[in-house]
Copies of this chain bind each other. A is one copy, B any other.
Amino acid sequence: MTLLLLSTPERGKIWPRVFAEAGEDILVGEQAVHDPSAIEHIACWYPPKDLSVYTQLKTLISVGAGVDHLPALPEGIALSRTIAPGLEAMMRDWVVMATLMSHRDMPMYIAQARQGVWKAGSVAATGKRTVGILGMGRIGRLAAVSLLALGFRVRGWSLSGATVDDIEMFAADDLDVFLAGVDILVCLLPLTERTRGILGDALFGKLPRGARLVHAGRGGHLDMTALARALDDGQLASAILDVTEPEPLPAEHPFWNDPRIVITPHVAAQTDAREGAMHALAVIRAVREGRPIPGLVARERGY
């Protein structure tokens, strides 16, 4: 049951140690592979161009939480995305930070600082603002708990609209109703054909005037031109973005110096190398023992 790791030098250093402690086999880098048929698992961000040489391949493990960058896999190969509690907590932290920054007018204060302007606006209580979370998976639910504890009203939207404790949930068809009551919109959706470009003119138009955007999904969700338009129209008041289209955002892009926008360079979360290795070990063992694979991706739903 050998695993092949194709990833960063840091992971290449740490994973073999974790695997050695666990008594499992690992190879790092394709140049280390002499017998492709010995490889049963591949952990990577981008997979090898030709998977067909790995005749015994059982699972492909994405070393991140996302899988939208991966091509379709041949039948019979399971796809697992890394479930890492640390990564989820980091995402939660960034979302809580960005939501508070949005709520407390930080884009405006940051822009004022550039001009040397000391000018206080009014302060609203969290209880007067509704945060709407698009995508109520594990990270969305973690964020919701923290935001509720800070006194925000919180509502969630997911494909299924499945119940989440203490949160008013909306299903796919109720997107418009959901949006109509949102002051701060947080996007945590997976990127699928269904969600690509979802943050665009139509969606922005259904938010109350002056709503704020917090985006920690993928650049592909966001129509950057529509966002600029919504900000210029006053339909949106501000945006805090961890992802853009394209990435990296070019130095000359006008968003960098837009007083209504704050950008972080896709740093909402990073998988800890050790935590990623532990996930891969859990996958290997589940396959060996015929148990459900952790982080198994339902490709037909696109995530």
Contact = CB atoms under 8 A, between A and B. Distances in A.
Interface of A: 86, 89-90, 92-94, 96-97, 100-101, 103-106, 109-110, 112-123, 125-126, 146, 149-151, 247-253, 256-257, 262-267, 269-270, 272
Contact of A97 (B92, B97, B146, B253): B97
A43 B81 CA distance: 60
A272 B149 contact: no
Given A89-B151, A97-B97, A118 B249 contact: yes
Contact of A90 (B86, B120, B125, B265): B125
Contacts of A110: 110, 262
11 contacts: A86-B125, A89-B151, A97-B104, A101-B101, A105-B267, A109-B265, A113-B256, A120-B265, A122-B270, A125-B272, A146-B149
Given A120-B266, A267-B120, A103 B113 contact: no
Contacts of A151: 89, 93
A114 B116 contact: no
A214 B292 CA distance: 46
Given A93-B126, A96-B100, A125-B90, A265 B150 contact: no
B89 A93 contact: no
Given A146-B150, A256-B113, A93 B100 contact: yes
A263 B113 contact: yes
A146 B109 CA distance: 24
Contacts of A120: 265-267
A119 B265 contact: yes
Nearest to A145: B149
Contacts of A89: 125-126, 151
